Chains A and B, each alone.
Chain A
Amino acid sequence: DAGVIQSPRHEVTEMGQEVTLRCKPISGHDYLFWYRQTMMRGLELLIYFNNNVPIDDSGMPEDRFSAKMPNASFSTLKIQPSEPRDSAVYFCASTGLVVAYEQYFGPGTRLTVT
Protein backbone atom coordinates (compact mmCIF):
# COMPACT_ATOMS: atom_id res chain seq x y z
CA ASP A 1 0.00 0.00 0.00
CA ALA A 2 1.21 3.51 -0.78
CA GLY A 3 0.33 4.91 2.61
CA VAL A 4 -1.44 8.20 3.20
CA ILE A 5 -0.67 10.67 0.43
CA GLN A 6 -0.70 14.41 0.95
CA SER A 7 -0.18 17.25 -1.48
CA PRO A 8 1.44 19.63 -1.76
CA ARG A 9 4.36 18.86 0.52
CA HIS A 10 5.24 22.52 0.83
CA GLU A 11 3.09 25.57 0.26
CA VAL A 12 4.12 29.19 0.51
CA THR A 13 1.40 31.75 0.06
CA GLU A 14 0.63 35.34 0.85
CA MET A 15 -1.77 36.45 3.51
CA GLY A 16 -5.32 36.59 2.25
CA GLN A 17 -4.91 33.87 -0.35
CA GLU A 18 -6.91 30.65 -0.40
CA VAL A 19 -5.00 27.48 0.42
CA THR A 20 -6.18 23.96 -0.32
CA LEU A 21 -4.47 20.92 1.16
CA ARG A 22 -5.23 17.46 -0.19
CA CYS A 23 -5.20 13.98 1.25
CA LYS A 24 -5.68 10.45 -0.03
CA PRO A 25 -6.14 7.96 2.83
CA ILE A 26 -5.04 4.35 2.83
CA SER A 27 -7.45 2.26 0.80
CA GLY A 28 -10.02 0.56 3.01
CA HIS A 29 -9.59 2.91 5.95
CA ASP A 30 -12.88 4.45 7.00
CA TYR A 31 -11.61 7.18 9.31
CA LEU A 32 -9.71 10.25 8.19
CA PHE A 33 -8.16 12.89 10.43
CA TRP A 34 -6.68 16.33 9.87
CA TYR A 35 -4.08 17.58 12.37
CA ARG A 36 -2.05 20.74 12.71
CA GLN A 37 1.39 20.81 14.32
CA THR A 38 3.10 23.94 15.63
CA MET A 39 5.88 24.49 18.11
CA MET A 40 3.60 26.42 20.43
CA ARG A 41 0.54 24.17 20.42
CA GLY A 42 1.95 20.79 19.51
CA LEU A 43 -0.19 18.36 17.54
CA GLU A 44 -3.86 19.34 17.43
CA LEU A 45 -6.75 17.44 15.91
CA LEU A 46 -8.75 19.74 13.65
CA ILE A 47 -11.48 17.45 12.31
CA TYR A 48 -12.15 13.82 11.57
CA PHE A 49 -14.45 11.90 9.26
CA ASN A 50 -15.99 8.45 9.40
CA ASN A 51 -17.21 7.01 6.12
CA ASN A 52 -16.85 10.46 4.54
CA VAL A 53 -19.06 12.13 7.17
CA PRO A 54 -17.57 14.76 9.49
CA ILE A 55 -17.84 13.48 13.06
CA ASP A 56 -16.01 16.05 15.15
CA ASP A 57 -14.90 19.46 13.93
CA SER A 58 -14.48 21.03 17.34
CA GLY A 59 -10.80 21.56 16.69
CA MET A 60 -11.29 23.68 13.60
CA PRO A 61 -9.97 27.06 14.70
CA GLU A 62 -12.47 29.33 12.98
CA ASP A 63 -14.71 29.78 9.99
CA ARG A 64 -11.76 30.38 7.72
CA PHE A 65 -11.09 26.65 7.89
CA SER A 66 -13.23 24.09 6.12
CA ALA A 67 -12.79 20.41 5.30
CA LYS A 68 -14.56 18.07 2.95
CA MET A 69 -14.46 14.42 2.08
CA PRO A 70 -16.41 13.91 -1.15
CA ASN A 71 -15.50 10.23 -1.38
CA ALA A 72 -13.59 7.52 0.45
CA SER A 73 -10.32 8.27 -1.28
CA PHE A 74 -10.05 12.04 -1.10
CA SER A 75 -10.27 14.87 1.39
CA THR A 76 -9.42 18.56 1.34
CA LEU A 77 -8.66 21.12 4.01
CA LYS A 78 -9.19 24.67 2.87
CA ILE A 79 -8.13 27.92 4.49
CA GLN A 80 -9.71 31.08 3.14
CA PRO A 81 -8.40 33.68 3.69
CA SER A 82 -5.06 32.51 5.02
CA GLU A 83 -3.19 34.36 7.77
CA PRO A 84 0.43 34.18 8.97
CA ARG A 85 -0.69 32.42 12.17
CA ASP A 86 -1.90 29.52 10.03
CA SER A 87 1.71 28.64 9.25
CA ALA A 88 2.19 25.07 10.47
CA VAL A 89 2.60 21.50 9.33
CA TYR A 90 -0.74 19.94 8.47
CA PHE A 91 -1.02 16.18 8.71
CA CYS A 92 -3.65 13.86 7.38
CA ALA A 93 -4.04 10.44 8.99
CA SER A 94 -6.29 7.46 8.43
CA THR A 95 -7.30 4.32 10.28
CA GLY A 96 -9.60 1.40 9.78
CA LEU A 97 -10.21 -2.15 10.82
CA VAL A 98 -6.79 -2.81 12.26
CA VAL A 99 -6.06 -4.25 15.67
CA ALA A 100 -5.81 -1.06 17.65
CA TYR A 101 -7.20 1.51 15.24
CA GLU A 102 -3.75 3.05 15.18
CA GLN A 103 -3.60 6.05 12.93
CA TYR A 104 -1.29 6.15 9.95
CA PHE A 105 -0.02 9.60 9.07
CA GLY A 106 0.82 11.17 5.76
CA PRO A 107 4.10 13.05 5.27
CA GLY A 108 2.48 16.39 6.07
CA THR A 109 2.16 19.70 4.25
CA ARG A 110 4.36 22.50 5.49
CA LEU A 111 2.37 25.71 5.05
CA THR A 112 4.01 29.11 5.24
CA VAL A 113 1.82 32.20 5.04
CA THR A 114 3.74 35.43 4.56
Chain B
Amino acid sequence: AQKITQTQPGMFVQEKEAVTLDCTYDTSDPSYGLFWYKQPSSGEMIFLIYQGSYDQQNATEGRYSLNFQKARKSANLVISASQLGDSAMYFCAMREREGAQKLVFGQGTRLTINP
Protein backbone atom coordinates (compact mmCIF):
# COMPACT_ATOMS: atom_id res chain seq x y z
CA ALA B 1 0.00 0.00 0.00
CA GLN B 2 1.18 3.49 -0.78
CA LYS B 3 2.39 5.22 2.33
CA ILE B 4 2.98 8.56 0.65
CA THR B 5 0.65 9.73 -2.11
CA GLN B 6 1.28 12.70 -4.34
CA THR B 7 -1.71 12.96 -6.63
CA GLN B 8 -0.43 15.72 -8.92
CA PRO B 9 2.07 14.35 -11.42
CA GLY B 10 2.51 17.81 -12.92
CA MET B 11 1.57 21.40 -12.17
CA PHE B 12 1.89 24.60 -14.14
CA VAL B 13 1.84 27.94 -12.33
CA GLN B 14 2.42 31.54 -13.32
CA GLU B 15 5.42 33.26 -11.83
CA LYS B 16 4.71 35.11 -8.57
CA GLU B 17 1.63 33.04 -7.82
CA ALA B 18 1.42 30.80 -4.77
CA VAL B 19 1.33 27.08 -5.36
CA THR B 20 0.23 24.16 -3.21
CA LEU B 21 1.65 20.68 -3.76
CA ASP B 22 -0.43 17.91 -2.25
CA CYS B 23 0.80 15.06 -0.09
CA THR B 24 -1.17 12.53 1.90
CA TYR B 25 0.37 9.86 4.07
CA ASP B 26 -0.58 6.70 5.84
CA THR B 27 0.82 5.54 9.16
CA SER B 28 -0.55 4.08 12.36
CA ASP B 29 2.31 5.31 14.49
CA PRO B 30 1.57 8.48 16.52
CA SER B 31 5.14 9.74 16.18
CA TYR B 32 6.36 10.41 12.67
CA GLY B 33 8.03 13.05 10.55
CA LEU B 34 7.23 14.53 7.18
CA PHE B 35 9.74 16.04 4.77
CA TRP B 36 9.74 17.81 1.44
CA TYR B 37 12.62 17.67 -1.00
CA LYS B 38 13.23 19.53 -4.25
CA GLN B 39 14.96 17.93 -7.22
CA PRO B 40 15.87 20.44 -9.95
CA SER B 41 16.81 19.33 -13.43
CA SER B 42 20.44 19.11 -12.35
CA GLY B 43 19.43 16.07 -10.30
CA GLU B 44 20.43 16.78 -6.72
CA MET B 45 17.93 16.28 -3.89
CA ILE B 46 17.56 19.39 -1.73
CA PHE B 47 15.93 19.28 1.70
CA LEU B 48 13.29 22.00 2.05
CA ILE B 49 11.21 21.60 5.18
CA TYR B 50 10.27 19.25 8.02
CA GLN B 51 7.14 18.77 10.11
CA GLY B 52 7.00 16.54 13.19
CA SER B 53 3.74 14.86 14.07
CA TYR B 54 3.70 16.51 17.50
CA ASP B 55 4.57 19.97 16.26
CA GLN B 56 1.78 22.34 17.19
CA GLN B 57 2.48 24.85 14.47
CA ASN B 58 2.91 24.46 10.76
CA ALA B 59 6.55 24.51 9.70
CA THR B 60 7.84 27.46 7.68
CA GLU B 61 11.17 28.06 5.92
CA GLY B 62 11.32 31.28 3.97
CA ARG B 63 8.88 31.01 1.06
CA TYR B 64 8.07 27.41 1.96
CA SER B 65 5.41 26.41 4.43
CA LEU B 66 3.83 23.11 5.25
CA ASN B 67 0.07 22.93 5.64
CA PHE B 68 -0.16 20.09 8.14
CA GLN B 69 -3.63 18.64 8.69
CA LYS B 70 -3.12 15.70 10.99
CA ALA B 71 -6.70 14.42 11.05
CA ARG B 72 -6.75 14.33 7.27
CA LYS B 73 -3.21 12.92 7.11
CA SER B 74 -2.11 15.58 4.71
CA ALA B 75 1.10 17.58 4.57
CA ASN B 76 0.85 19.94 1.64
CA LEU B 77 3.77 22.15 0.63
CA VAL B 78 2.95 25.79 -0.07
CA ILE B 79 5.37 27.93 -2.03
CA SER B 80 4.58 31.61 -1.89
CA ALA B 81 5.49 34.08 -4.64
CA SER B 82 6.78 31.40 -7.00
CA GLN B 83 9.95 32.02 -9.00
CA LEU B 84 11.26 30.52 -12.22
CA GLY B 85 13.90 28.73 -10.18
CA ASP B 86 11.19 26.83 -8.34
CA SER B 87 10.62 24.69 -11.44
CA ALA B 88 11.62 21.19 -10.32
CA MET B 89 10.37 17.85 -9.06
CA TYR B 90 9.09 17.95 -5.50
CA PHE B 91 9.02 14.88 -3.28
CA CYS B 92 7.13 14.34 -0.06
CA ALA B 93 8.65 11.81 2.33
CA MET B 94 7.80 10.29 5.68
CA ARG B 95 9.80 8.86 8.54
CA GLU B 96 7.30 6.43 9.96
CA ARG B 97 8.10 6.30 13.64
CA GLU B 98 10.19 7.74 16.40
CA GLY B 99 13.77 6.64 16.12
CA ALA B 100 13.37 5.23 12.64
CA GLN B 101 15.69 6.63 10.03
CA LYS B 102 14.15 5.19 6.86
CA LEU B 103 12.35 7.65 4.65
CA VAL B 104 9.54 6.59 2.34
CA PHE B 105 9.16 8.87 -0.66
CA GLY B 106 6.18 9.70 -2.83
CA GLN B 107 6.32 9.61 -6.61
CA GLY B 108 6.82 13.33 -6.87
CA THR B 109 5.15 16.31 -8.53
CA ARG B 110 6.79 18.13 -11.42
CA LEU B 111 6.26 21.86 -10.95
CA THR B 112 6.74 24.22 -13.87
CA ILE B 113 6.73 27.97 -13.29
CA ASN B 114 5.76 29.96 -16.36
CA PRO B 115 7.04 33.53 -16.88
Measured in the bound complex, the distance between the Cα atoms of B102 and A65 in whole Å is 19
Interface of A is mostly: strand
Stretch of A14-22, A67-75, A77-85, A96-104 on the interface side:
A96-104
1/0 per residue A49-73: CB within 8 Å of B?
A: 0100001100000000000000000
Chain B minimum-CB-distance residue to A3? B44
B interface, size bucket: 20 to 34
Q: Which of B63-85 contact A (CB under 8 A)?
A: none
Asked if A43 contacts B91 (CB within 8 A), the reply is: yes
Q: Chain A interface (Cβ within 8 Å of chain B)?
A: 31, 33, 42-43, 45, 48, 50, 55-56, 89, 91, 93, 95, 99-108, 110
B90 at the A interface (CB under 8 A): no
Q: For B95, what are the chain A residues with a Cβ–Cβ distance below 8 Å?
A: 101
